[in-house]
């Protein structure tokens, strides 16, 4: 399939997903749950990064 065909398929699937999100409360809830999980994961990664950075700084001061 050509790149243009994939592009059109992506647009079509995106439009279908948008319609589902707009019309289906269950799909809206799933999207919200996915956003919440992604946000929590990002916060956990950032917190771990900050903790590791502090450990490295403490070791460097010695």
Compute the distance between CA of residue 62 and CA of residue 59 in angstroms, rounded to an integer.
Answer: 5
Instruction: Output the pTM of the full model.
Output: 0.62
pLDDT of residue 1: 73
Residue 29 confidence (pLDDT)? 92
In sequence order, which residues have a C-beta less than 8 Å from that of residue 28 and are 6 or more positions away? 21
Measured in Å, how far apart are the chain's first and last C-alpha atoms? Answer: 59
> Residue-wise pLDDT tens for the chain (62 aa)?
799 999 999 999 999 989 988 999 998 899 899 999 999 999 999 999 999 999 999 998 87
Domain ranges of the chain: 3-61
Q: What is the DSSP letter of 24?
A: -
Q: In whole angstroms, what is the distance from residue 55 CA to residue 62 CA? A: 11
Which are the contacts of 21, defined by CB distance < 8 A and separation ≥ 6?
A: 27, 28, 31
> What pLDDT is recorded for position 6?
95
């Amino acid at each position: 399939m050509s790149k243009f065909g994939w592009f059109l398929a992506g647009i079509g699937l995106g439009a279908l997903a948008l319609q589902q999100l707009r019309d289906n409360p269950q799909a809206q809830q799933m999207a919200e749950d996915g956003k919440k999980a992604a946000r929590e994961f990002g916060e956990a990664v950032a917190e771990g990064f900050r903790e590791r950075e502090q450990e490295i700084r403490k070791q460097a001061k010695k």
